[in-house]
Structure 1
C-alpha cells in the first residue's frame, strides 16, 4: 500500500511539473509575440491598417486576435478608429493589447450630444483590394461558361461598344439584375492538370434594356474596356469587404502554391495581388494568413550531374481577401525576398502556431 502511494505521489508530482512547464512555455510564447521594441502606447492615425498597427507590437501581425483584449464597455470593440490609443496591458500575468477611447463628443444641450462620424481602420489597404476586385473574378470549374449569356453584336454596324451604347445579347437575362460584362482570362489548373477555375476580366456593367425573340437588347452603363462580340454576361458579384475580419492562420493545415499574379507581373513584392490554388474547400477564408516559402534554386550536382532543387526558404506572408471553391486571391503583406509564381503557400509553421494555443 505504501509503495502504491509513493508511485501515485511521484506520478502526481510529475504531472504537476509537466503542467507547470507547459504553462510557463505558453506564457513565454505569449511574451515572445510582442516585439522587443514594441511601444507601450500607440495613437491610431488616419491611413493606418490593422496589419500596420499589429506590426508595431507583434513579431507576427497575424497573431493579433490572440493578444487582443476586447473592451466590453466600448461600442463595437472589434473596430479601431483614428484617435484611439492601443496600449500594452497585463492580463493575468500575460501581456495583451487593449484600447483607450476618448469620448470625442461635443455637447450641444443637456439632452443632445453629437458624435462625429468616423470610419474604422481597415485590416489591410482596401483601396488596393477594391480596385482589384472590380476588375477580376473567378469562375469555378463547376460553371460552364459556354452556357452563359454572351454579346452577339454591337448594332448600328459598330465594331466595338462602350458606356451608353446598346448591344445585342443571346441568353436568359432578368430585368432587375445588374450584370457584369466579362472576358475569359487565364485558366488555373492543379499539378495534375485538372481545372481549378478560370479568371474573368471585367469589361463593364449593364442591364437588360429590352427583348426581341431570341436576342435581348442590353444597355452598357459602364465600361473599362471596349465591349466585343463574344464577351460574357454574369450577375455582378457582391463586393462587400468586411472591415472587421481579423488576420489569423487557417483552422486546418493548408498546402498550395502561387498560381499567378494577375496583370502579368512575374516577380512579386509587397502589396501585389496573387492567385493561389487553395480555397474555401481547404478552409481558407477572408482574413486567412498564409506563409510563403520561396522555391529553392535548381542546381546541378557536380558529382552525379543530376539536377537537384535546394530547400525552400520562408520569404513572406499573404492575407486572403477573396476565396472561391478552389482558388483564392491574396495580398502580399510581407516579402523578405522576391516571390515568384510556383512558390509554396502554407499554414504558418508549428513553432508559430504553438504560441497561439
Structure 2
C-alpha cells in the first residue's frame, strides 16, 4: 500500500480514505520502525475529559480531525504537532503510527551517584521525585559476597531495622560450630574484607534462578533486604553491626555484599529510545500484582535503560478471560498501567508499578517511548 501526502486540514487538500481504496492518513510516529509497538489507544471521542498520552492513527484520521476530537478545536493542530518533534512535516504522516497528545514531562536525571550520606539526610519524597529502595535485582553474574549475619542478641527469628547483629567476613563468615557441622563445598564462598566502624554493607538473599521458556539460565534473582552499619570491630570475636535500613525481614545467615546506594532518589527521566520489554519476574511471590509492587524487566543498561525511565504496560485480554491467559490474535492491545525504573543492571532492570487499572502478571508487554 503506497503512502500519500496528507495535510493537517482535510478541507485544504487532504483527501479521506474511502472504502474503494485511496489511503489518506494522518500520523506522527513515536516509533522509528514499523515493527514497533502494536498497542492501540481507544477512539478519541471517548476521552472528552480525560486526555490520553497518545493516539494510534487509523485509516481516515487527520491531524485536523484529531485536534478537534481531543482538544475541541481543529485549529489547534499546530499544538499537536509541537508535541511530536520527530515529525518534521505534518503533511507526511501515516496509519499505524502514534502521535503524542500531551507535552512530555521535562527530563530530570536521577541522582544515582549521590553519596550514601545524602541518601540518609531524608527519607521523605523530594520535590520532583521520591526515595525508593532498590528492592531486588536480576544479574547474570553472581554477586561478590563479603560477609554474613551469624547471630544477634535479639531473641527472635526475624530481624529488622535498629536490631543489633553480629557479622563475620571472609573465613569468619561462618562460626566454628557451623564449619564443623557443614562441608566446605556447602558453604558460600566469601571474599576477605577489612572493616572499620561506620562501614556499611547491603544485606541480600539469593532467590531462584531465572530461566527462559526453553529452560536456559538468564540470571540470578536477589532480594535486597536492607543494610547494616558496623558499630564495633574486634580481633577476638565477630564484628557488631546495627541494621540501619530494612525493607524486608532479615534472618541469621543472610549475606552481605559491598554497599551500593539502596535508597535512591528516583525522578522521572525522559527515555532516549523506543523499546519493547517484558516483565520476567516479580519481587514477591504470587500470580497477579498491582501498584507499589516491584517487577523485573528484561532490558537493562545495554539497551539504554536508565533509572527514572518509564514503561507503559500492555495486555491483550478478553473481558471474561483470566489475567495472563493468551487471547485470540484478533484481540487488540490495551494499556493497563505503568512502571518506573528504580535500578538498572547490565541486561535487567528493577521497576515499581506506579499505575495499574488491571492485575499485572509476569509476561506482560512493556513499551518505552523516546522523549517520554
Q: TM-score, normalised by structure 2?
A: 0.51
Shift of 1:167: 0.7
Matched, 1:217 2:239: yes
Decide which structure has greater strand share: 1
User: Does 1 or 2 have the higher relative contact order (CA < 8 Å, sep 6+)?
Assistant: 2
Partner of 2:264: 240
Query: Aligned partners of 2:341, 2:168: CA distance in 1, in Å?
Result: 35
Query: Aligned partners of 2:104, 2:139: CA distance in 1, in Å?
Result: 41
- Where does structure 1 lack aligned partners over 5 or more consecutive residues? 1-16, 40-55, 62-87, 100-118, 298-306
- Where does structure 2 lack aligned partners over 5 or more consecutive residues? 9-13, 15-23, 30-40, 56-75, 84-101, 106-124, 171-192, 319-324
Partner of 2:334: 314
Task: Check the 8 A contact 2:279/2:364 in 1, yes or no.
Answer: yes
What is the number of residues matched between the two proteins? 248
SS at match of 2:206: strand
Decide which structure has greater helix share: 1
Shift of 1:19: 10
Partner of residue 128 from structure 2, selected from 119, 122, 127? 122
Shift of 1:202: 0.8
Query: Aligned partners of 1:285, 1:337: CA distance in 2, in Å?
Result: 26
Cα distance change on mapping 1:211 and 1:158 into 2, 3 Å: farther
SS at match of 1:138: strand
Task: Check the 8 A contact 2:281/2:297 in 1, yes or no.
Answer: yes
| Dislocated runs of 4+, deviation >6 Å | 24-28, 35-39, 88-93, 155-160
SS at match of 2:347: coil
Partner of 2:202: 180
Matched, 1:59 2:59: no
Query: Aligned partners of 1:334, 1:156: CA distance in 2, in Å?
Result: 39
Query: Aligned partners of 2:258, 2:164: CA distance in 1, in Å?
Result: 19
Task: Check the 8 A contact 1:253/1:346 in 2, yes or no.
Answer: yes
SS at match of 1:281: helix
SS at match of 1:182: strand
Residues 42-94 of structure 1: CA distance to partner in whole angstroms, max 9, x if unpaired? xxxxxxxxxxxxxx665249xxxxxxxxxxxxxxxxxxxxxxxxxx9977984
Query: Aligned partners of 1:97, 1:295: CA distance in 2, in Å?
Result: 27
Q: TM-score, normalised by structure 1?
A: 0.53
Task: Check the 8 A contact 2:201/2:259 in 1, yes or no.
Answer: yes
Shift of 1:258: 1.4
Partner of 2:222: 199
Shift of 1:196: 2.2
Cα distance change on mapping 1:240 and 1:196 into 2, 3 Å: same
Shift of 1:181: 2.5
Matched, 1:274 2:295: yes
Query: Aligned partners of 1:284, 1:318: CA distance in 2, in Å?
Result: 13
Residues 252-288 of structure 1: CA distance to partner in whole angstroms, max 9, x if unpaired? 533x321233233422334443222221122222233
